[in-house]
Structure 1
Amino acid sequence: MIASSVQLGDGVVIHHPDLVNLYGCSIGAGTRIGTFVEIQKGAAIAENCKISSHSFICEGVEIEEGVFIGHGVMFTNDLHPRAVNLDGGLQTDADWSLVPTLVKRRASIGSNATIVAGVTIGEGAQVGAGAVVTKDVPAYAVVAGVPARIIGRAADAPVEVLSSGGTR
């Protein structure tokens, strides 16, 4: 289902629109969305991204241009999730705080990775399949594992990548 509240840029391709769940989000021009993807209200996806099947992008996630999201990638937006309050009553929107996440341009996230709320994945970074990202990933770093740790640097990284994660 694609809700009327979704903002779609020019040339967005949604494979099997009847098999996605998109509501209150924005999707930039040229982006491709796979089957069985859910993108919640308040999520923002920039231009020319690829969101593969079975991925979940929740409220508070911002994805910059040219990002690849593999199959079954899961984002979170709450560091202390609970179904009920101390009194046993179901929690409502007023009972939790949204924790935003940022994926910078040209980053790639491998299949079945989990991205914990509040992290920034740097420009050109690569997250290995099945990784659990609990901390910020520097620009052009390659991370893998549970929890994700730096194991290298992206092959297309600029010649000099500073220790701060910036480029020069």
Structure 2
Amino acid sequence: MFIHPLSDVQSNRIGDNTRVWQFSVILPDAVIGSGCNICAHTLIENDVIIGNDVTVKSGVFIWDGITIEDKVFIGPSVTFTNDKQPRSKEYPQEFFRTHIKKGASLGANCTILPGITLGENCMIGAGAVVTKSVPDYAVVVGNPAKIIKWLNKND
């Protein structure tokens, strides 16, 4: 495991061969698998589970309530949300759960609203605003994100 000295890694539940780059913050209860690459300028909160071989590019904040399965790619500046009606200093009793399934690929600057599932091997286009769950192998783009095609299981 490699942890850059300019990162703040409080969790001891990080798998082998994972790399954490500078200016990253990982809170104590976060779970991160092996073979991951957590790029610079990222935040991972406590109630987060990240599988193996996941790439989290720069500028991504992963909030409480998010589960990411194996081999997921999260592009630069992807935005996750976990509260449908956020208010300053007012917190829900429980945050919405968001589930990113194995092999999903999230393009740069897409926004993922809370409480949805992104299906296995789906692709989210850059800048898309995902307002509802995405099926396995679907490719979605736009605002709101719409299915434009389907991938083959070999893609």
State the TM-score, normalized to the length of structure 2: 0.90
Q: Contact 1:78/1:96 (CA < 8 Å) preserved in 2?
A: no
What displacement does 1:96 show?
A: 4.3
Question: Hey, what's the Cα distance between the residues in 1 that align with 2:113 and 2:122?
Answer: 16
Return the match for 1:80 from 65, 77, 85. 85
Max Rg structure: 1
Gaps of 5+ in 1: 84-89, 160-168
Q: Report matched runs for 1:10-159 at 5 Å.
A: 10-16=16-22, 19-23=23-27, 24-83=29-88, 90-91=89-90, 93=91, 95-154=92-151, 157-158=152-153
Contact 1:78-1:97 within 8 A present in 2 as well = no
Q: AA paired with 1:38?
A: L
Q: How many residues align?
A: 147
CA distance in 2, matches of 1:2, 1:100: 25
Note if contact 2:9-2:24 (Cα within 8 Å) is conserved in structure 1.
no
State the identity as a percent: 39
Using the size of structure 1 for normalisation, the TM-score is 0.83
Is the 2:10–2:26 Cα contact (8 Å) retained in structure 1?
Answer: no
Aligned partners of 1:131 and 1:144 also within 8 Å: yes
Flag as ranges the 4+ runs of structure 1 deviating above 6 A.
none
Cα deviation, 1:75-112, whole Å, max 9, x if unaligned, reads 111111111xxxxxx42x4x443100000000000000
Alignment RMSD, CA only? 1.4
Which structure: greater strand fraction? 2
